Amino acid sequence: GHKYPYDWRTKKPTIFRATDQWFASVEGFRDAALEAVDTVRWVPDVGKNRITAFVTGRGDWCISRQRSWGVPIPVFYDRETGNDVLLDEHTLEHIQNIFAEHGSDAWWTMDESELLPDIYKDQADKWKKGTDTMDVWFDSGSSWNGVAKTRDELAYPADIYLEGSDQHRGWFQSSLLTSVAANNQAPYKTVLTHGFVLDEKGFKMSKSLGNVIDPMQVIEGGNNKKLEPAYGADVLRLWVASVDYSGDVCIGTNIIKQTFESYRKLRNTARYLIGNLFDFIPEGQSGSTAVPYEELPSLDKWMLGQLSAVLKEVDEASDDFQFNRATQELLRFASADLSNFYLDVAKDRLYIEAIDSSRRRSCQTVLYSVLVGFAKAVAPILPHLAEDIWQNLPFDAATESVFEGGWPTSLTEFVPHDEEQWGFIRKLRDDVNKLLEEARSNKLVGASLDAAAYVYAPDEKAREILNKLDGDRDLIHPPVKTNGVDELRTTLMLSQVNIVDSEADVLANCEEKYVATSGTLSGCVVGVKKADGEKCARCWFYGEDLGKDLGLEHGDACQRCNHAIASWEKVRGEKFVRAEVAEEQPVS
């Protein structure tokens, strides 16, 4: 039997039939079109290869279609022969004027005597209007003329055309050809192409397969909110921004759940920042509590340098239309730089220090910049979250909306600071945390502050850093050996850090199973053990001397916490009264 192509919609075989058609030749301007391709920015770069191949291999363009509706081809045919045609500047100008006044449907509602110009009206019985319509790609391909050139708020060439990758043979190409033929230039400055959205298993979405994901259901939820929760527009936008659109992308229930978890991380980070700025007054406002940059500790200057680098990366990635790169950088910043390190370390400064201590206020100064920069950076992707942050700022904002005031250029100007030092400390922190996991599983310690570390650094540069950040034996106010921020104890979140001279010293103080002698990220020999001394009831750091040993009012608190309580009493003008803790009752 014969093989036939099948119609994709009806699934029935089709037969091709040859009929008379109208064609437009591209031979006269093919080279000009190829030259115009070189003037355009193609995103991704492979788009240039695709459009070049299509234009190079382009045959004559069949511009006519036999459809019951569309823009007509304004041609008149001889009623007797059916082959002779009438198409010249007189007929085109007259029909153009009719269309301008009555629309293109006039071709179907008016007869020949009305459609023909005065010069041919006496031949109305000879000519019959044609029924062919223009190829829709010719319609859309001339939109640069009907839309971009005629609207004051738009420009020609357009800044950007964006569509699916199939449009290199469609809209992108037809727009290019019509524009080059008429004006010898491309109709666009940039062309961005994206792949197609598939289901979670990588299959094309189809109503017949029942695998179509409804965007509104993602946003508003289904009938059963427990099974089909309402994630909101921001979560859907985050998914769009996080995928690599240069190829086909998948979406489904599990993927949206994962995206929601990423969204929660960003939102929780913002909540932490807002919650810890409740009593902060920014620079430039009356009674400001901000600390000048020159007076900030090294750790804080490093964090601001990281913030600037992130904002620059997000800005550059967005300008390059690489939204997934921008999103990944924001998620990495929120998770790795903030939650896993800086904000974790900051808890001691924010919760334990005296209200107006420089350690606390310098940290708030950094958190303020991070919060403002974070809100501005996520705004194009997560507008509802960004505006929610802005409307809940615990201080007077410079603008009413996050979308006012533009990009935070001033926050991109912090220079990198002590990157080698803090990069090393973060690696050492990872080494310590890995050992603490083993110690916790064996019930040696609970929280990290229950532990002490012994560290030997074979590398001279590493030893210099360790010695530089080595703090006092106990937490005291004011600190003597460090500024109380750039310190091993607080950045590693350990009660004691002991720097020793050999691997043997580490093994002599720590059980072998809690020692890493090789393969550490920091290159150091690291061991952990139970911290020495007693636990401070307020900050939970262990130390040799508590208030009772020093004759202070709060005997179960360290000297630093005693000072913080006294400072609080002075600022608040009231006596600190410790909440009573109910004694545990025996289980009956």
Confidence at residue 579, expressed as pLDDT on a 0 to 100 scale: 78
Residue 13's pLDDT is: 86
Beta strands in 240-353 (DSSP E): 249-250
Q: Please tell me the predicted confidence (pLDDT) of residue 209.
A: 85
The residues that bridge with 542 in the sheet, in sequence order, are: 535
Give the whole-angstrom CA distance, residue 456 versus residue 93: 90
Residue 339 near residue 269 (C-beta atoms within 8 A)? yes
Beta strands per DSSP E along 242-337: 249-250
Q: Strands, DSSP E only, in 35-93?
A: 41-43, 61-62, 64-65, 76-78, 85-86
Classify domain 23-194 at the CATH superfamily level: HUPs (3.40.50.620)
Ordered mean pLDDT values, 10 residues apiece, the chain (588 residues): 78 85 90 96 94 92 88 93 91 94 93 93 93 90 91 94 92 94 96 93 88 92 90 97 94 94 97 97 95 98 98 97 96 97 96 95 98 97 97 94 96 97 98 97 96 97 97 93 96 97 97 96 98 96 95 95 94 87 56
Instruction: Please report the pLDDT score of residue 232 as a whole number.
Output: 96
Q: Can you give the residue ranges of every domain in the chain?
A: 23-194, 253-412, 419-532
> What does the CA dihedral 405, 410, 412, 418 come to, rounded to 10 degrees?
-150
> How far, CA to CA in Å, does 300 sit from each of 207, 419, 481, 482?
55, 12, 18, 14
User: What's the pLDDT score for residue 582?
Assistant: 60
CATH: 3.40.50.10190, 1.20.1560.10, 1.10.520.10, 1.10.730.20. Which one for 253-412? Answer: 1.10.730.20
Q: Which CATH architecture has domain 419-532?
A: Orthogonal Bundle (1.10)
Token pair 């153009």 is found at 96
pLDDT at 583: 59
- What is the token pair recorded at 235? 């979560």
Strands 158-164 and 23-24: unpaired
Task: Name the one residue in this structure whose structure tokens are 């569509």.
Answer: 163
Number of other residues whose CB lies within 10 A of the CB of residue 491: 23
Q: Do domains 23-194 and 419-532 have the same CATH topology?
A: no
CA distance 457 to 441: 27
